[in-house]
Structure 1
Amino acid sequence: MKSKIFLYLFIFVSLICLYLFVSNGNMVKVKDARIDKLEGQIESLRDSVRDTQLKVLEMQYFSLENNDDALAYYDHLKLEDPSRYIADKLLETNESKGDNPLVPYEGMDSDFKINKIKVLNHKWILTDFSDGKYWGELLIKYELKDDLSVDFTMLDHLLYTRSE
């Protein structure tokens, strides 16, 4: 009788071990499949990040901050951020009453003011202006002088027409 109990116990333990072995094998397959899927997602995310970084570098190509040759013009002025300084000086032109003096159009809904500024290099700025309803762009030539004053000259302009 005792040997039959041990036999049944042995068979029962063997079945449990077999179940655990098969179950663990299936879990390993499922986990490996999930790991492979996640590795594929990580690789696609890496590609996406790389593409985004390349786009950002491409967008920053025409930028004073990334143009060492243009920045060399301002080494003697000891400005920490020449681009921000020039943009601030340009925004000061918005403070005058009425339209911004650099915008060659009269505002239709309100006064035309400069909104966005992109300092391209040591000579040119690209800006966006708007009166809230109508908008346009300006190409501005500027000169930063040794006394830190800035002269702005509008080179070209564009006013978008509204199509409704």
Structure 2
Amino acid sequence: MKSKIYLYLFLFVSLICLYLMVSSNNMSKDYAKKSKSSIEKITKLENQVATLKDSVQQSSLKVLDMQYFSLENNDDALAYFEHLDLKDPTTYVTDKLLETNAQKGDNPLVPYEGMQNDFKINKIKVLNHKWILTDFSDGKYWGELLIKYELKDDLGVDFTLVDHLLYTRSN
């Protein structure tokens, strides 16, 4: 009887060991799958981060390139305004130019008559202490102006049209 108990005990322990071995083997395979998929995800994320870094760097270069012709980033042109008590010359000149839109009819700086409505200046880019690039439109037709300006000591601004163009529609 004692030998049968030992035999059954040995068989029971063997079955438990077999179960633990198969179970641990399955767990290690599952862990290997999960770690492989995690590594793939991490690699994919690293590639996306690298792509985003390149994109951010390219965008930064484009912004710097676009700001090259800008009064705010031109120290030599800003030095022209040092004797005046202006915190932001770009905003001041832009506001003075937009005041020309307040007149009834077409803007006096636009050398065309509005076809749909009156031509008014929309967008303004102050290039330096002498030139402004603008966009004008009547709602359907549009064009661009190159304007020379002079900011006087009494803070008056004189605008002179240098060149202009009107885009033609081609249907």
Task: Measure, in 2, the Cα distance between the counterparts of 1:14 and 1:80.
Answer: 78
Alignment partner of 2:14 out of 2, 7, 12 = 7
Match of 1:124 in 2: 131
> The residue matched to 2:129 in structure 1 has which SS?
coil
List 4+ stretches of structure 1 deviating above 4 A: none
Which structure: larger Rg? 2
Secondary structure of the 1:141 match is: strand
- Residue of structure 2 in register with 1:75 after alignment: 82
Q: Residue 5 of structure 2 aligns with which residue?
A: none
AA in 2 matched with 1:36:
T
Matched, 1:135 2:153: no
- Which of residues 141, 152, 155 in structure 2 aligns to 1:145? 152
Q: CA deviation at 1:71?
A: 0.8
- Runs (5+) with no aligned partner, structure 1: none
Give me the whole-angstrom Cα distance separating, in 2, the residues matched to 1:42 and 1:133.
43
Paired with 2:50 and 2:97, the residues of 1 have a C-alpha distance of 44
Deviation, structure 1 residue 117: 0.4
3-state DSSP class of the match of 1:125? strand
Give a deviation string over 1:42-76, Cα, whole Å, max 9, x none. Answer: 10111111111111111111111111111111122
The SS at the match of 1:32 is helix
1:13 is displaced (CA, Å) by: 1.0
How far, CA to CA, are the matches of 2:117 and 2:42 in structure 1?
59
**1:49 maps to which residue?**
56
CA offsets, 1:6-58, max 9 Å, x none? Answer: 11111111111111111111211111111111111110111111111111111
- 1:155 alignment partner in structure 2: 162
Alpha-carbon separation, structure 2, partners of 1:57 and 1:97? 38
Q: How far did 1:133 drift? A: 1.4
CA RMSD of aligned residues (A): 1.0
Match in the other structure for 1:115: 122
- The equivalences for 1:15-54 within 5 A come to 15-54=22-61
- Identical residues among aligned pairs (%): 63
Deviation at 1:84, TM superposition (A): 1.1
Alignment partner of 2:83: what SS? helix
